[in-house]
Chain A
Amino acid sequence: GESVGLHLPTLSVQEGDNSIINCAYSNSASDYFIWYKQESGKGPQFIIDIRSNMDKRQGQRVTVLLNKTVKHLSLQIAATQPGDSAVYFCAETSPYGQNFVFGPGTRLSVLP
């Protein structure tokens, strides 16, 4: 079936560097995408979203890029901090948003 996947299961970055987490999706009908951050023992935390009629959206220290041509989504975190260490999930949904499909997650480790 349709699924969302991630290129890199783990990512280690130096504190202060920028992080890029990638995600590939397979459902061309998906029109809305969310990035979530999940810390140990907690539920996923909404970071940023993007609709399919956009190719870039910026938040506070985060940017999401969407390339519909190659069905690729990325999350950029500027000036990565220790508090950014967590598992990051991308999720997609098709119109009328009943079913969000999550990828397996990427663990981001921030090195001092």
Chain B
Amino acid sequence: ETGVTQSPTHLIKTRGQQVTLRCSSQSGHNTVSWYQQALGQGPQFIFQYYREEENGRGNFPPRFSGLQFPNYSSELNVNALELDDSALYLCASSLKLDSDSSYEQYFGPGTRLTVT
């Protein structure tokens, strides 16, 4: 167990709806990264949050947005859901220091999103 938790475990939404996924980082970690993992593929980087600000973004449209809270937990919001958004959404927490890179990322169990 990594100490990273995600909720909900599973979610079914209809195309066009909005969804919010939540992640609690491991104790002592200050950075959260979100990934999308389609069935049978490797995780794809969505974005990273550090000090409550977006700190890097992958090739995802603006309808994917996020937040990080003072306790370092994070939310991923997806608007105008499309069928292709169906995937496992993973968050990973890590410790980033000002003078160094964080690197070691520990993943949560993921939220399985199905869009119909």
Chain A residues within CB distance 8 Å of chain B: 4, 32, 34, 36, 41-46, 49, 89, 91, 93, 95-105
Contact = CB atoms under 8 A, between A and B. Distances in A.
A43 B90 contact: yes
Most B C-beta atoms less than 10 A away, residue of A4, A95, A99: A99
B103 A97 contact: yes
Nearest to A93: B103
Given A46-B104, A97-B101, A98-B55, A104 B41 contact: yes
A102 B58 CA distance: 12
Interface stretch (B13-21, B43-51, B61-69): B43-51
A99 B31 CA distance: 12
Interface residues of B, number: 27
A41 B2 CA distance: 15
Contacts of A42: 109-110
A90 to B, nearest CB: 9
Contacts of B33: 98, 100
A44 B101 contact: no
Interface in B56-76: 56, 58
B42 interface: yes
A100 B104 CA distance: 11
B105 interface: yes
